[in-house]
Chains A and B, each alone.
Chain A
Amino acid sequence: MDPLIIQDHYEIDYRHSYAEDSPFFVALTKGKLLGSRCTACGYTYATPRSHCMECGAPTSWHELPLAGRVHTYTTCHYGGELFLKETPFTLILVEFDGADTLFLSRLKGVPTPTHPSGAPIAPPDAMGHEGEGQGGGGVYIGMPVVARFAKTPSFKVTDVWFEPA
């Protein structure tokens, strides 16, 4: 016989603590971007961690500049189910002067190409070459960007995003 297939719903709310990372999320509500600096070796992280990955010593909070540059980027025309309705969106890794590592964020305020029907399409630079439209409708590696902050915080990392400087 044909296999019997049923629908099986699954939903849950977690009680999630940001724990030692909490100051980062609170700082976003004040328009500040906090990284970490190692108290022993000085290694500076653009995404915070309370102990240094290089030497193991504790880090201290370190305020990052609000201006940085695009280290790399992509425009997502599909995504996980949770983010599918937000496509197309552009992800970037941001590099900052004075920080040794990067920060993942969204780039907004740069037009992303869509098909007139609204369907996800191959963007104008379907061949994806550097310097030919860049696949994100104008974003490029090295592009100066500035941080913007949500007026009404959701206490998520998406309370900060970047726009062209």
Chain B
Amino acid sequence: MRPVYMISGGITKFAKAHPDKDFRLMVKQAYDYALRDVPKFSKDMIDGAVGSYFSDHFTRQLKAASMAQDYLGLCPKPSKRIEGGGATGGLCFQSAWEAVASGRMNCCVAFGFETMSRVNTWKGNEFIALASDTNFDFPVGGFYTGYYAMMVRRHMHEYGTTVEQMAMVSVKNHMNALYNPYAQKAKRLTIKQVRESPMVATPLTMEDICTMSDGAAVCILASEEVTAKVCNRPVTVTGVGSGSDAMRMADRPHGKVILLPHERESDYAHLKYPGVHSFRGGRMAAKLAYQMAGIRNPIEELSFVELHDAYTSSEIQTYEDLGLCKYGEGGKFVESGVPFMPGVDYGLELPKQGRLPVNPSGGLLACGHPVGATGLMQAVFAFWQLQGTIKKHLGNDRLQVKNPKRGLIHSHAGTGTYITVSILEAP
């Protein structure tokens, strides 16, 4: 494999609905933004593209990625669609990485989109729940928030995680987004407001859950040769990993923890793993990505993380899968203030505020979750962070992590069925 660089990225504003533009135009706008950011780059340098969108039900246009491909003027270059539930965007990013790393392409465009506004929220929830076993899970009351509620209830039972700790994630991500003009749902919240918002599935309230969204995102990945010609501040993709787990969470085993380099078996002597409280696929993805990037202790070696916070609870669960803290310590980790941005007043007491910002962009909770675009959006935000160009792209530098060396992006599907972790490093 050879080195792969990210040389540019673009995103549309994520919004409840963009009735004035279809998916092709959204992708085109994100693509044009990315092209404008590398003026020396020309379309001739592109060898092919990978497109991602999650649901044919939402789109009601099969082969929609082909329509984006021709709209971008990329025919007859190679193209394909990647679909993997909530991890669609992360898988798309890694597929473009594979094309360049293998030498098949010198430059590959990854584009993703989703138009979720075409049905009402509850029909949308039904469509999403079709990504659970339709014989054994969906008919019982198929509802992803219900599935995640059951998982976090077990996390609370195992570890004493509290709903206030979950609410802190909501406060953090919604407030980070106040400084991100691309975000759909930025706002100042208190723990009390999160808990008093309408209950959706106990213990998760409306403010614990991300929203449906319309949006698109584009990443351009290239070989050293192309990168040297067009980009002064490329970001290197130094690690990719992915993992999986059984579709039905009822089928998850209760066995041993997959250990990261800084952990010992004795840390988890009595833990039955993953059960329904943790994401084994996320741990596998992290382990493989860390191995490739040479990371031994993630909390010391990462500068920030953009992770898949479809629920406040899954952000806490993911801290543990990524080894930012031990299994069982996710609630205390957020309470300590480590994953908050430094220099932002959240109205909370945070003793270790800003040591490792998680979801500085506002994450899915506040940016929105147009599924096929989400994992690529994370890559674009991480790219801007590592370039140090947050101010240029967001219009202010409140979310710029100081001198970032290494960022982690994490994309997650189903109840943890496909998960990707990619590591990006500064020039």
Contacts and interface: CB of A to CB of B under 8 A. Distances in A.
A72 B250 CA distance: 11
A141 B153 contact: yes
Nearest to B156: A130
Interface residues of A, number: 54
A18 B135 contact: yes
B58 to A, nearest CB: 12
Q: A-side binding surface: helix, strand, loop or mixed? A: loop
A78 B122 contact: yes
Contacts of A100: 253-254
Contacts of A75: 201-202
Contact of B195 (A3, A104, A126, A136): A126
A79 B203 contact: no
Contact of A80 (B19, B129, B162, B202): B129
Interface of B: 19-20, 60, 120, 122-123, 125-126, 128-129, 135-137, 139-143, 145-146, 149-151, 153-154, 156-157, 162-164, 195-196, 198-205, 246, 248-254, 276
A121 B154 contact: no
Contacts of B199: 77, 120-123, 126
A110 B154 CA distance: 20
B163 A128 contact: yes
30 contacts: A3-B19, A3-B20, A5-B19, A47-B251, A53-B246, A53-B251, A71-B154, A72-B276, A73-B150, A76-B145, A76-B149, A77-B201, A78-B122, A78-B143, A78-B145, A78-B200, A80-B122, A80-B142, A84-B122, A91-B150, A104-B248, A104-B249, A106-B140, A121-B199, A122-B205, A126-B199, A127-B164, A128-B195, A135-B203, A157-B139
A18 to B, nearest CB: 6
A101 interface: yes
A11 B7 CA distance: 44
**Top 9 A-B pairs ranked by shortest CB distance?**
A128-B203, A135-B202, A80-B126, A74-B149, A102-B250, A128-B163, A72-B154, A81-B122, A79-B143
Interface in A129-165: 129-130, 135-136, 141, 156-158
Contacts, number: 156
A92 B200 CA distance: 16
A122 B194 CA distance: 11
A82 B142 contact: yes
B279 to A, nearest CB: 15
A129 B163 contact: yes
Contacts of A46: 250
Contacts of B253: 54, 100-101
Among A83, A130, A158, max chain B CB count under 10 A is at A83
A126 B196 contact: yes
A102 B149 CA distance: 16
A125 B156 CA distance: 14
Given A74-B153, A79-B122, A82-B142, A127 B195 contact: yes
Contacts of A102: 249-252, 276
Contact of B120 (A71, A81, A122, A158): A81
B198 A77 contact: yes
Interface in A52-81: 53-54, 71-81
A82 B203 contact: no
Contacts of A105: 140
